[in-house]
Structures are given as C-alpha cells and as structure tokens.
Amino acid sequence: MNVSDSGIVGTILTDNGFQLVNDTSEADVVLLNTCSIRDNAEKKVKNRIQELNTIKKKRGLIIGILGCMAERLKEDLITNYGVDVVCGVDSYRKIAEAINNSIDSSIALTVLNSQETYEGITPLQINTDAVTAFVSIMRGCENFCSYCVVPYTRGRERSHSVKSIITQCEDLFSKGYREITLLGQNVNSYRFNDGERTTDFADLIKQVAEINPLLRVRFATSHPKDISDRLIDVIASYNNICKAVHLPLQSGSSDVLKRMNRKYTREEYLEKIKRIKATIPDCSISTDIIVGFCGETPEDFEQTLEVMRIVEYDYAFMFAYSQRPDTLAAKKYADDISLQEKNRRLTQLINLQRDLSMASNRRDIGKVYEVMVEEQSKRSADKLFGRNSQNKVVIFDVGDFKKGDYAKVKILDCTSATLFGKTL
Ligand code: SF4
C-alpha cells in the first residue's frame, strides 16, 4: 500500500514544482513513508530520522513522516524526534503546502477522512524501469483484527472507482508495464457503486484482466472470511490472472483466531483452501503467520504447524507477535509468551516452511512455465530473472528476450527460494 501512496505523494509534489532525486545527498526534503505494523518497523524509521537529523544540522533539510507512524505518533514526532512535517494517510493533498509552510514552523496533518480515495490522482511510478506495477483499489480496513493498528491509522474502508482503476491499468499497460498487482488491505471486500450497479472484486479483476491478455494480474491481500467462490472461479478461468493466492492464516488454532478477532475458524480456513485447490490445481498458496500471540499454548502452536503441513504453503511470511499500543489485544490480553519462546516457535516455523518450499519447488522440476522477464539476474550477467504465474522466482539463460516478454522455461533445478531453468 505504501508503494502506491508514495506514488500519490510523488504526483502531488511534482505537480507542485518539486523534483524527485535519486539520492538523499541531493535532497532538500526527505519524506519517509512508514508502517506501524510491527515495533521493529517503527524502530528502523526512528533510527533513520536520527541519521537525517545529523544531515539537517550540517546543511539544513526538511524531514517529513508519512503513513501509519504519522497517524499513530502525530505531534510526538515533532516534539521528540525533530520532524518538520507529519502527514497522515488522508492528508497527502496538502503535502506540498505543508512542506513549504514548514520552513516557518513544523506541521502535523493527521485527521482521517473517510471520503478520501485520491480520485483523479494517478500515482507516479517511481521505478520507471520496471515492468511490474502496483495499483491501489481501496483504502482503510474495518476488520479490527485485535493485534492490528491499520484500522486506527488508515481509517474506514472505501473503494476507488472502477473507472479510475481501469484507466490507471490501461495507462500502465500502454507505457509497457506487463504485470499489475491490485492492492488493498482486504481486496475481497472491494465494492463500488456508480449509481447504477455495484462492482465487487470478482467483477473488477475480470475487467482488469480483459484490458489485454498480455497483462498479468495479481492481487493482495485476501481475507479468508471474504474470499468468494466466484472470485476463485474467475481466477481459474482467466489465463492472465496469476495462479497465486495469498491467504493469511495467522494461526492454525480456532481459539487463537477467536482472540485475534479473525472471524473464521481453522476448519473454515481449510475449507477455503480445499475449494481453491480443487478449482485451480496449479495455484500456489502463500500465507502470513504470527507466533506467540497472547495465550498461545504449545497445543495451539502445534495446530499451526499442522495446518502448514496440510496446506503445503509455497511460501510464508512469519513473525513473532509484537504488541502494538492501543490495539484491542493490547487492552484486553496479556502479552504472556516470553520473547525467547516466541523466537523458538518462530525458528521451528521457519524451518518447516523451508522444507515445504523446497518440496514444492522440487515438484516443479521437469515442468514448463511461462515466465515473464523482469530483469537481468543480479548474480549473473548471462541469466535472466522472472516469475511464473505462481509468483515463484525463476532464473534462466539469456535468450532473445526483453523485459516484459514471456519465455517458456523448463525447470531443471531449485533451491527452497528459487527455480532454475532453460528456455525452450
Ligand atoms: S484485515 Fe486485519 S490484519 Fe489486515 S489490515 Fe485489516 S485489521 Fe489489519
């Protein structure tokens, strides 16, 4: 989401006479777009602010904080961290004015606005060299998972208009982009009513896929309670909708899921997985998992490992629970698993996932995939880097291809993270 928001800020600033530069040493203004989802993410930003303050003392610099940390910490960033501009997620239209006025005194704009979708602003694509792009289709979230700050920092859920999304995707395709990821905190609850009809996510992704068969479409993130049978059918029926579903599990224990306020049980989650696998047999499935959530017993943790083994995830993002201030969990439950135990469980999880990813990649040896060329491999000048529809990284020999082309690649070897092949 932050990539897309940075693009919105980029457009607003360039429209107001600002210029993008490639290096901090050339900048008069540095804006950090931040995330508050984990304590570690905030610590990194605070360290970066310290570094920027050192530069500021030497030659003058305007430091701005955007995104979730701006909403969460507000004026505290000015008072205690020497920040000049604090601009929350719904205030970006005023960012240029805020920067100009901050020369006189620091400014914090953090009022949430449930109507703001930045309609009419096409996000600047910061990496113009790429063939993959992100398009935000909605803002905010109202699920209130008990561990999560997003509903407080990003406000109420609202969907962008179908017209603005399609126009943006068409424009990206015409500029040479060949893969678009539709983004939202929970894309499955996308709904837009234009006065005549309501478009849901299944309708929307179909329309994006129909722009051109050469345009690949991905999406993130799905909420297990909302992913619909109709969406699964649509993914199966369009070649250019990628066969990769990211379905965050968070925990394999229904008791923990209840405390997390995830609104599905382990059994309901596994039913959705069964439906996906039956309808899209070549679909890769990835997930997010939190270990050591409040009250997670060894039995709860074992249930998470068990779900991982049943689903055989292709890859997973795994984290130790980090309590965030003001969330429901912080108010209601004790953060009672020691850091040592959280880390022990996390290591066990990572080891299991490495084995599952390795097994999944080994099953791909001998198969032929259509791989979209993204760039030259960073490790070797005579290899190309791309991804297959399943979102797996494929490294293969340089042929007569350019970025955005599709190559047929036979998989010959793998590690747990990468497939290696040769073009046919
Ligand atoms: S769905 Fe839950 S975890 Fe995801 S952004 Fe919304 S509240 Fe946070």
pLDDT reported for residue 35 = 87
Q: What percent of the chain has pLDDT over 70?
A: 100
151 C-alpha to center of ligand 1: Å? 7
What average pLDDT does this structure show over 32-60? 92
Which of 403, 1, 375 has its CA nearest to residue 177? 403
Q: Which of 36-40, 105-109, 217-221, 316-320 has the lowest mean pLDDT?
A: 36-40
Q: Which of 129-133, 233-237, 348-352, 355-359 has the lowest mean pLDDT?
A: 129-133
Assign domain 2-109 to a CATH class. Answer: alpha beta
Per-residue pLDDT band at 3 (split at 50, 70, 90): confident
Q: Which fold has domain 368-423?
A: OB fold (Dihydrolipoamide Acetyltransferase, E2P) (2.40.50)
Where do the structural domains in the chain lie, given as residue ranges? 2-109, 368-423
- Dmax over CA atoms of the chain, in Å, equals 65
Q: Is 151 in the pocket of ligand 1 (CB under 6 A)?
A: yes
C-alpha span between 280 and 16 (Å, rounded): 47
Per-residue pLDDT band at 134 (split at 50, 70, 90): very high
141 C-alpha to center of ligand 1: Å? 6
C-alpha span between 307 and 194 (Å, rounded): 41
Domains 2-109 and 368-423 equal at CATH topology level: no
C-alpha span between 184 and 135 (Å, rounded): 9
- Tell me the backbone φ, ψ of residue 324, rounded to 5 degrees: -110, 135
From the DSSP assignment, how many helices (H) and strands (E) are in the chain? 14, 19
pTM across the whole model: 0.92
Q: Is 156 in the pocket of ligand 1 (CB under 6 A)?
A: no
Which of 181, 175, 169 has its CA nearest to residue 207? 169
Per-residue pLDDT band at 120 (split at 50, 70, 90): confident
Q: Is 144 in the pocket of ligand 1 (CB under 6 A)?
A: yes
Q: Which two tokens stand for residue 349?
A: 């999880």
pLDDT reported for residue 287 = 98
C-alpha span between 384 and 402 (Å, rounded): 10
Q: Which of 10-24, 151-165, 282-296 has the highest mean pLDDT?
A: 282-296
What average pLDDT does this structure show over 106-111? 93
Per-residue pLDDT band at 172 (split at 50, 70, 90): very high
What average pLDDT does this structure show over 84-88? 96
Cα dihedral 159, 163, 165, 168 sign: negative
Across the beta sheet with 315-320, what order do the strands follow?
244-246, 284-291, 315-320
CA atoms within 13 A on the CB side of 78: 14
Measure the CA angle with vertex 55, ends 49 and 58; round to 5°: 145
Q: Which two tokens stand for residue 113?
A: 């606005």
Per-residue pLDDT band at 218 (split at 50, 70, 90): very high
Q: Which two tokens stand for residue 413?
A: 């070897």
Q: How far is CA 204 from CA 4, 147, 164, 182, 189, in A?
A: 18, 30, 12, 10, 11
Residue by residue, DSSP assigns 343-405 as: HHHHHHHHHHHHHHHHHHHHHHTT-EEEEEEEEE-SS-TTEEEEEETT--EEEEE--S--TT-
| Most ligand 1 atoms within 8 A of CB, residue of 139, 141, 147, 189 to mutate | 141
Q: Is 7 in the pocket of ligand 1 (CB under 6 A)?
A: no
Per-residue pLDDT band at 280 (split at 50, 70, 90): very high
Q: Which two tokens stand for residue 2?
A: 């932050």
- Centre a 10 Å sphere on the Cβ of residue 50 and count the other Cβ atoms it contains: 11
Q: Is 183 in the pocket of ligand 1 (CB under 6 A)?
A: no
- Tell me the backbone φ, ψ of residue 58, rounded to 5 degrees: -75, -45
CB-based contacts of 325, cutoff 8 Å, min separation 6: 72
Report yes or no: 165 and 118 within 8 Å, Cβ to Cβ: no
Structural element, H or E, at residue 87: strand 85-87
263 C-alpha to center of ligand 1: Å? 11
Residue entry with tokens 């600047």? 124
Q: Which two tokens stand for residue 122?
A: 């096409």
273 C-alpha to center of ligand 1: Å? 20
Per-residue pLDDT band at 91 (split at 50, 70, 90): very high
Cα dihedral 288, 292, 296, 297 sign: positive
pLDDT digits (tens, 9 = 90+) for 195-204: 999 999 999 9
C-alpha span between 56 and 137 (Å, rounded): 37
